[in-house]
Amino acid sequence: MTKEPPARIGVDSSGGGGGRPLTTVRWTAPDGTVRTGETTVAPGTKAGDRTTAWLDRQGSVVRNPATPVDSFAESIAIGTVAASSTGLLFLGTERAGARLLNRRRYAQWEKEWAEMDSRGHHHQS
C-alpha cells in the first residue's frame, strides 16, 4: 500500500468492500512494470503493509470477488424479488380477469332483468 487509507473519507460504498477503506496500492505486473491503482483494504491497514489486490486479465485493479456467502445471499434476494413479482403479476391478472368477467355477468343479468320486466314476469313491491 502506498498511502494511509482515510479514516472514513473515501470508504467504498459500492457494495464490494463492505465499508472497507479505499486507498492507493502499488504492485509489480508480470511484465516487471510497477503499477498503482485504488482498491479497498482491511480496516487498520497502514502504508507499507502488504494487502491483496484483485486484477483483471489486463492487469487493472478490480473489485474484490464475491464470497460464497455473498453470492448465496444475493441469489436469495433476487429469487425472492422474482417470485414476489411473478406472484403479484398473477394476482393482478386474476383480479383484472375477475373484474372483466363480473362486468360481463352484471351486464347479462341486467339484460335478463330488462327482458323479464318487459314481459311482466318481474313485479316489484
Summarize pLDDT for 15-64 with one digit per residue, the tens. Answer: 444 567 788 888 888 788 888 888 888 888 888 888 888 888 877 888 87
Give the pLDDT score at 89: 98
Question: Which grid coordinates are listed for 33?
Answer: 512494470
Measured between alpha carbons, how far is residue 21 from residues 13, 36, 50 in Å? 9, 16, 15
Model-level pTM? 0.47
Question: 26: helix, coil or strand?
Answer: strand
Element (H, E) at 38: strand 34-40
User: What is the rounded CA–CA span in Å between residue 54 and residue 73?
Assistant: 22
User: What is the rounded CA–CA span in Å between residue 17 and residue 37?
Assistant: 15
User: What is the rounded CA–CA span in Å between residue 104 and residue 120?
Assistant: 24
